[in-house]
Structure 1
Amino acid sequence: MRSFLLLAICLSITYWLTACVDSLDLTLNSTIDVLVVDGTITNLPEPQVIRLNRSKADRLTGRFGAVPITKATVEVIVDSTQVIPCHETVDGSYQLPSDFKGQVGHAYQLRFTLSDGTRYLSTRQVMPAVAPIRSVSARFNPVALPAEQQLDGGYRAGHDVFIDTQDPADQANYYRWDWKLWEKQSWCRSCQEGVYSVNNILLHTYKDKTFYVAGNDLYEDCFVPVNYMEAGQPPFQAGLYVYDYPCRTDCWEILYSYALNVFDDQYTNGNLIQHRSVAQIPYYDSTACLVEIRQSSLTQSAHAYFNQFQRTQMTNGLTDTAPSAPVGNIRNVADNREKVVGYFTASAVSPKRYWIDRNDVTGLPFGNIVPEKVAWQPGAAFFYSLNRRQPIPEPIYPYPSIRIWGGPPRPATAICVPSDSRTPYKPDGWQD
């Protein structure tokens, strides 16, 4: 997912690469319809997912959007003999069997066929070994975030994260670093033009022309009334409004890096890599957080491809002009003229988690630099960091225009729904 987000951002940049990667001496200029592939096989017991999207530019505005490619047949070929099928979990995401993980020294190749019969094939990628991370450290820095990653108002405070690792001397090594961040989340759902309901709402069932009536089945979603023009239906507020609902249980937001950080050991072969900067964690909130640093091996060709992004990273927003984008190692079997963006590769990963207590910070976190004067709510600083506004709880009184008879007391609390960006399960390494 991180690589796809980066590719999507890059497809929205005005000026892009004109350099080449070995034999892949190709770029896409002013492309308005391009296939984007994101897939990395790792050696960890984690979901192994291939993502297929089509990036299209609006013909009027030029702005890019990603459309998931569904109903494709996706396979990973291991050592040119074993074929592992993937199954589509959500639109555009194809996951290998849950017990599958890559192995160092084995070769992997992506093959997929779209619903219209178009076939694609990647180059073979042999998974290289990776050195373990020896140690992790972090230091607060009021200007940690690079200018292109600064938050609103030029906010750049955060923690610089560093690692030490021993580079093997007997081979060329190519590295990539990224991170995964857990922050405590207090607000689990926002409902626009509606209210959160724990139980299902019975259709065409009202009480005293004031209440919608809840059933006994779990619903756990936003209820937005439909005007049936019925005499007994309660009136409800028109116009745009939103209510935010606190989490019923513990919940953690999961954030990912999107900036590339790759490295070639050409000048450090066999030496101890010390105090290598691998992450800049924004100072979202004054409470502690947990970060996982992932040190990944890259094949030489994958490093060359991603190194293009690192040299010209411009990740601070969308533009109105159609861009250029680098072509990866995936080709249309029947038509070499089609250019496919993205790279399929295989990486061994050494992960290490680190607790940032934020006791060394100075100044206010980004979430507390709030323009409007509002009452403080638990978790409001982090909520503001994500949404650029304060949470708006459902009022106790005066009542909201949508009132529900039955179910738990109002205002309701919302469940923490597990996803790539949220979990109700306490992450390993979290300190209470």
Structure 2
Amino acid sequence: MKAMQKRLGIYFFAILVLTIISNCIDPIEPDFELREGLIFVEGFASTEPGVSFVSITESAIEFGVYVVNFVEGASAELENVDNGEIVPLVEIEEAYVPPEDFTVAPGESWKLNILMPDGKQFTSEVEKVLDPIPLSDLKVQYDPELEFREIFGGRFVPGHEIFVSFTDPPGAGNYYYWSYRSYENLDICEKCRESYFRDGECRPLPRGIGGLQPYYDYPCQSDCWRIRFPESIPIFEDEFSNGRTITDFSIGNAILYTKEDMVIEVQQFAISASAHEYYKVLKDLVDNNSGLNAPPPAGLVGNMFNPADSEEFVFGRFTAAATSLASVFVDRTFIGEEALEGREPLITEPTFGSPLPPPATVSAPCSETRFRTAIRPEAWIDQ
């Protein structure tokens, strides 16, 4: 029975990963038996500030469909097992994050501890931080038919392919994992549909008042950037390229969701062999998602566990990784193709004679979240 539950969990995990990777907000219709209450943990501790995070999600059935919900109210901490240092994580925008200036260092050993709202405890195996491997080059290339998407009946969509170059150190095997963040200038910081913005939130429109709009836009009070994350799992091992220079290795696509200028910041992680094996299995699941009903690949085992119950299966992995960063500015002024995200007409509150409760509000702050920031990207160029 436990083996069958584990296998069903792996099936669900494949869908869960697809949901997380694509930032999908639509529920997933199941075509095989799944279970509620499956826990997935994904965590990184990095040698670069602002990169470390932990995500905790749980499977659920809502209105007959399977969804993945962020777990609120957990307590998470990073522990340096060399000196006993404890770093508490704070819950911000569907993630648990350490202080902005937190970093780990090569040679240190860390683990992740989690206390769930129901009292269950999860912990990770100890991860040792390796030495970083520098990126020597980062570039992007625009393609008007970059990637096929199942939208508008199915078509190729435009965007930029991302390439990195680096020199692999000779000797022992090296393993790589990449993530990246794209920063796009954000003009509207809040859009309140059938509502209006007051005291940091969208409030329902008053009933019985005429002259109201279907939504109100609130431009950003200061410079603000939207943050997007990758929709793939790029990995590499140096089995056949030990000690060589790797040139223009493709690590993913930045789809043309908008035509705003963009900064792409790439994080190159030096990871362990076990971490690489884990992400290789995930990559297989994501790249071959049309075959989810086939037997899942072997080896889908992370390093999270319940110390009080060795039989409980916990999906996910905590990785402590040496990180190298590189950024590039992308000018999208002269792109002719249409962006995937259309722009609705700008509707703002009237400053005089408004039927909405006072005070009239015409802008909103650029609040710091995992998906947007007022901190200017290092490579940003004003145009």
Q: Residue 144 of structure 1 is aligned with which of 124, 137, 146?
A: 146
Partner of 2:306: 332
Q: Does 1:70 align with 2:79?
A: no
Q: Does 1:429 align with 2:379?
A: yes
Q: Does 1:6 align with 2:58?
A: no
Partner of 1:31: 35
What is the percent sequence identity of the aligned residues? 23
SS in 1 for 2:275: helix
Partners in 1 of 2:188 and 2:153 — Cα distance? 22
Partners in 2 of 1:360 and 1:90 — Cα distance? 36
In structure 2, what residue type is equivalent to 1:425?
A: I
> 1:95: Cα distance to partner?
3.4
Q: Is 2:189–2:218's contact at 8 Å kept on the other side of the alignment?
A: yes
Return 5+ residue gaps in structure 1 as ranges.
17-28, 198-218, 228-234, 368-384
Which protein is bigger by CA-based radius of gyration? 1
Partner of 1:420: 370
- My pick for the range that moved more, 41-50 or 287-296, is 41-50
Q: Deviations over 1:120-139 (max 9, x none)?
A: 22112111223111011221
In structure 2, what residue type is equivalent to 1:157?
A: P
In structure 2, what residue type is equivalent to 1:423?
A: T
Q: Residue 269 of structure 1 is aligned with which of 221, 236, 242?
A: 242
SS in 1 for 2:325: strand
Q: Deviations over 1:27-84 (max 9, x none)?
A: xx723221111111101122633232222233x5232131414243x33332355141
> 1:405 and 1:84, CA in 2 relative to 1: closer, same or farther beyond 3 A?
closer
Q: Is 2:350–2:360's contact at 8 Å kept on the other side of the alignment?
A: no
Partner of 1:203: none
**How many residue pairs get matched?**
361
Partner of 2:175: 174
Partners in 2 of 1:130 and 1:66 — Cα distance? 34
Q: Residue 53 of structure 1 is aligned with which of 37, 42, 57?
A: 57
Partner of 2:202: 222
Matches within 5 A, 1:244-283: 244-283=217-256
Q: Deviations over 1:281-311 (max 9, x none)?
A: 1223344211111111111111101111212
Partners in 2 of 1:427 and 1:68 — Cα distance? 30
Partner of 1:202: none
SS in 2 for 1:163: strand
Partners in 2 of 1:270 and 1:226 — Cα distance? 67
Q: Deviations over 1:89-124 (max 9, x none)?
A: 348644335553111122212223334442222112
SS in 2 for 1:248: coil
> 1:237 and 1:67, CA in 2 relative to 1: closer, same or farther beyond 3 A?
farther
CA RMSD, aligned part only?
3.7
Q: Is 1:162–1:275's contact at 8 Å kept on the other side of the alignment?
A: yes
In structure 2, what residue type is equivalent to 1:158?
A: G
Matches within 5 A, 1:384-395: 385=341, 388=342, 390-394=344-348
Partner of 2:191: 190
SS in 2 for 1:156: strand
In structure 2, what residue type is equivalent to 1:178?
A: S
Partner of 1:19: none
- My pick for the range that moved more, 418-427 or 181-190, is 418-427
Q: Is 2:122–2:304's contact at 8 Å kept on the other side of the alignment?
A: yes
Q: Is 2:259–2:339's contact at 8 Å kept on the other side of the alignment?
A: no
Q: Residue 351 of structure 1 is aligned with which of 325, 350, 358?
A: 325
> 1:224 and 1:238, CA in 2 relative to 1: closer, same or farther beyond 3 A?
farther
The TM-score with structure 2 as length reference comes to 0.81
Partner of 1:114: 116
Q: Does 1:42 align with 2:46?
A: yes
Partners in 2 of 1:51 and 1:107 — Cα distance? 20
SS in 2 for 1:169: coil
> 1:109 and 1:137, CA in 2 relative to 1: closer, same or farther beyond 3 A?
same
Partners in 1 of 2:241 and 2:255 — Cα distance? 30
> 1:220 and 1:52, CA in 2 relative to 1: closer, same or farther beyond 3 A?
closer
Q: Which has the higher contact order (CA 8 A, sep 6+)?
A: 1
Partner of 1:313: 286
Q: Is 2:167–2:244's contact at 8 Å kept on the other side of the alignment?
A: yes
